[in-house]
Amino acid sequence: FIENQETLKSGIRVVRGPDWTDNDMDGGEGFVGTVCEIGKVDPQKKERAQPVNVIWDIGTIQKYEIGASKKFPLCLLDSAPSGVIHKKIKCGSCDMIPIIGVRWKCTICFNYNLCSKCYHNDNHDTQHEFWRYINPTNK
């Protein structure tokens, strides 16, 4: 889920998170949206929730409060549209270098990484666990 400023950028693609409560405002399970605006955190509020607007692929726009009551209604799907680049990191399947967007690092195989396309196409042993790097500095 989206929980920090480093991850939250206009252009990231999102899906329903663990604390989703908006019925089918997004078009239904599996539909995707784009963060189109990031508001300012109100310093007067006790709870420091981050307001964001998402335009869903079906055309609806909805405002969400990220972190309000420790709830996270959105999950990051793809950070490539916001310009996330993993410099000098090569996809072990398609040889893309650098990996743009989410980077998937195998926890079993030494220094083995996949781009999102290859990860979701099961281009590596599906029994292996992966770390998901949503930006170059965290996992």
Which tens digits make up the pLDDT trace of 68-120?
A: 888 889 988 887 777 788 999 999 999 999 998 889 999 999 999 998 889 98
Q: CB under 8 Å to 111, separation ≥6 — which residues? A: none
| Separation between Cα atoms, residue 97 and residue 94, nearest integer Å | 9
Task: Name the one residue in this structure whose structure tokens are 């490539």.
Answer: 80
The tens digit of pLDDT for each residue in 25-58 reads: 899 888 899 998 988 887 777 777 888 999 998 9
All domains in the chain, ordered by first residue: 13-80 (2.30.30.40), 84-132 (3.30.60.90)
Which are the contacts of 57, defined by CB distance < 8 A and separation ≥ 6?
Answer: 27, 31, 32, 33, 34
45: which DSSP letter?
Answer: S
Is the bond leading into 98 cis (omega within 30 degrees of zero)?
Answer: yes
